[in-house]
Amino acid sequence: CLLLYGESLGPAAKARLKAIYQHQDGFAIAQEDLRIRGPGEFLGLRQSGLSLLRFADLERDAGILPAMRELATALLDERGCDDPTITALIACWQGGIEDRLKV
């Protein structure tokens, strides 16, 4: 693979080239690119920048997300969707989400 580039590279471009140089695994390169540019909007159109997620960092928390999903499922199975605590948590999470889901 031969990469050609100009002399004036910004810090992000240099970091991306370094990632390509250091890794042959496309997933590792993509993960480094995600770290450099940021995840953007989880439920929106922006593909870079700071995430609007306040409860999780998808890169940092990737290892615990499956366990959290299992816990959430177990809680729903135990208490049901009509439980006041569950209803309050869902309402809190959904605050403003309708606007982000419109495409």
Dump pLDDT digits (tens) for 41-73. Answer: 555 555 555 555 555 666 777 788 788 889 888
Dump pLDDT digits (tens) for 28-45. Answer: 888 888 888 776 655 555
d(CA 75, CA 22) in angstroms, rounded, equals 43
In the predicted model, is pLDDT for residue 99 greater than 60?
A: no
d(CA 52, CA 45) in angstroms, rounded, equals 12
40, 100 contact by CB (below 8 A): no
Q: What is the pTM of this model?
A: 0.43
Domain-by-domain residue ranges, the chain?
56-103
Dump pLDDT digits (tens) for 3-23. Answer: 788 888 898 889 989 999 999
